[in-house]
Amino acid sequence: MTDHSAPASDSAELNAGRPRRLLEAVLAVAVWMALGMAFHLDANAYLLLGIPITVVFQVGVRRAPLQALWVRSAPPLRLDLPTAAFAVVLAVRPAYGLFRVLQSHPDWIVIGWWTAALGGALACAYALRSFNRVTAWATLGCLATAGLIGVAVMAAGAYTQDIPLRQPVDMAVLGAKWISAYLPMTFVMEEVFFRGALDAHLHHPGESKGILTALCTSVLWGAWHYPVVAHAASLPALLLQLIGVQVLVGVPLSLWWRKCGNLFATGLTHAVIDTVRNILFSGL
């Protein structure tokens, strides 16, 4: 799962800018966390805050096109029939969620969440138009590593809390409901920042010590969760738990993203993990 190595001189030149890039990554996550804690944002508002942060980071810090967030090579967006078809299918669940919340008492944060997911449907369709054999193998590999680890962590949590399993039909219905929501969401929130922007900034193709930069991305990802779960436990214990879990899942996510350069592989895996979490824990 590593990039083809570059000549030693080229690799050394690439690595020279890494401390600056690490500092930029730490500062971006720190700003996001500080805003989340200062304004006491809930999980949905905290995620939405990441959209402008991702755009500013990608354009202003990385100086890379926005489409490189989803496909590293950043091919032009083709608004052809296949892209439109993918986007329409992926937009069904966000559109329904938006319709339902508008029918009831309007919650502007939830409205923003579903509206963002509609945009994510187009971004996911863009990534699917660049789907190839490398992406297919990377998707399977990502699901078999990061996906299984994440699902195992969720299952272990449910087991230790003695949470009863739902009926198979209920699990299937909930699974379809959440995967169709989370997949487009990963293309505009959280996954797109930590793999599409941050990891791509910390590690450039041809650089050495890829595991270390994958660890850095994952540690930052773990710490980033703190503002929305700060009430759950003491700071040291909570950070240790968050970082430990996110490192286990995040390192393979980073490595598979680098392997294929298509966010579909990690976006689907992330969506699957979150779906399993909701199947096990939602409504409790």
Alpha helix (H) residue ranges in 143-195: 148-160, 168-185, 191
- Asked if residue 123 is part of any domain, the answer here is no
Q: pLDDT digits over 222-231, tens only? A: 999 999 887 7
Asked if 263 and 54 touch (Cβ cutoff 8 Å), the reply is: no
pLDDT at 220: 97
Give the number of other CB atoms < 10 A from CB of residue 102.
13
Is residue 247 assigned to a domain? yes
User: Three-state SS for 80?
Assistant: coil
For 94-109, what is the mean pLDDT? Answer: 92
Q: Taking 90 as the threshold, does the pLDDT of residue 6 lie above it?
A: no
Asked whether residue 100 is domain-assigned, the answer is: no
The tally of domains found in the chain comes to 1
- Inside any domain, residue 213: yes
Burial of residue 104, with CB atoms counted within 10 A of its CB: 0-12 exposed, 13-18 middle, 19 or more buried: exposed
How far from the centroid of its chain's Cα atoms is residue 284's Cα? 25
Domain holding 176, by residue range, is: 8-72+133-281
Of 51, 50, 52, 64, residue with least CA distance to 21: 64
Mean pLDDT for 137-155 is 97
Residue 204 lies in a domain: yes
% the chain with pLDDT above 90: 83
Could you tell me if residue 209 is inside a domain?
yes
Average pLDDT, integer, range 27-38: 97
| pTM of the full structure | 0.92
Asked whether residue 191 is assigned to any structural domain, the reply reads yes
Please indicate, yes or no, if residue 88 is contained in any of the structural domains. no
Each residue's pLDDT tens digit, 44-97 = 999 999 999 999 999 999 999 999 999 999 999 888 999 999 999 999 999 999
Model confidence band, residue 283 (pLDDT cutoffs 50, 70, 90):
low
